[in-house]
Amino acid sequence: MMSLGKMLAESAGKYAERVAVIHGDHRITYRELERAACALANHLRSIGLGQGDKVALMLPNCPEFIIAYFGIQKIGGVAVTLHVQSTSYELRHLLGNSDAKCLITQGALAKRFEEIRDELPLCRRLITTNGLEEDSPFREIIVNGPFSTEIPELEGDDPAVMIYTAGLTGKPLGAVLTHRNLLTQSVLLRTVCRRTEEDKDIGLAVIPFFHSFGAVVNMLLPLRIGAGVVLM
């Protein structure tokens, strides 16, 4: 069955030299995106993470979000996508409730995690980024490889992503999205928008990727059809 990890691998096979991500002056091809995601997947495996494990992302719309999102999918893990404005108090609940074992975030936001780290027995790993142009643990991981990885066989109902509700009547609740949920939505949107793989479109990502609609419309749809994504 097609999974999100395999989806990127398939797109990279078809559109290797097309530009997948545009961020400022930075251009990332499908081949480069696939290699970076595989490198991160291999690192996650090396620290003991695997199928079904939760990895939290607290990142804005940046190349690292896309790389990490698919790197997690390539180990059969579950991406827990968190609002970048989550406070330490909110993170304590989000990371604890989701059973996340690792957090990937910007160096400038890491202090929020460090303040509550001792209260989170499961979430023992932190990977920070300062942007792809600056030295950071994240950049070191994706530069060093290895750049290919084995993707586990997954079922359509296997979890892929966990997002949190606004929590208007209590604490936020985690909603699980499966590979089938997300892949069928990307196909539906491709049909509604009447796009084909020959169009070579460029999409402008204006909705946060940590939002389920933003991830499907602004990230999964264009990457499935070989389009480019401009990150604001």
pTM of the model: 0.94
Please, are residues 198 and 174 in contact by the beta-carbon 8 Å criterion? no
Domain positions in the chain are: 4-147+154-231
**Which of 57-71, 141-155, 162-176, 204-218 has the weakest average pLDDT?**
162-176
* pLDDT higher than 70, residue 203: yes
3-state secondary structure 197-223: CCCCCEEEECCCCCCHHHHHHHHHHHH
Of the pLDDT bands very low, low, confident and very high (cuts 50, 70, 90), residue 195 is low
**C-alpha closest to that of 73 among 154, 129, 142:** 154
pLDDT for 147-162, tens place per residue? 999 999 999 999 999 9
Q: Residue 25: what pLDDT? A: 92
Q: Residue 196: what pLDDT? A: 65
Classified by CATH at the fold level, domain 4-147+154-231 comes out as Rossmann fold (3.40.50)
Please, are residues 44 and 72 in contact by the beta-carbon 8 Å criterion? yes
Cis ω for the linkage preceding 159 (within 30 of 0): no
pLDDT for 73-113, tens place per residue? 999 999 999 999 999 999 999 999 999 999 999 999 999 99
What value does the mean pLDDT take over residues 158-181? Answer: 89
Q: What is the mean pLDDT of the chain?
A: 93
**What distance in Å separates the CA atoms of residue 122 and residue 201, rounded to the nearest whole number?**
42
* pLDDT higher than 90, residue 21: yes
* pLDDT higher than 80, residue 51: yes
Q: Residue 191: what pLDDT? A: 75
Q: What b/e readout covers 25-62, taking b as 16+ CB neighbours within 10 angstroms?
A: eeebbbbbbbbbbbbbbbbbbeeebeeebbbbbbbebb
Burial class (CB in 10 A: 0-12, 13-18, 19+), 154: buried
Q: Quick one: tokens of 218?
A: 């602004």
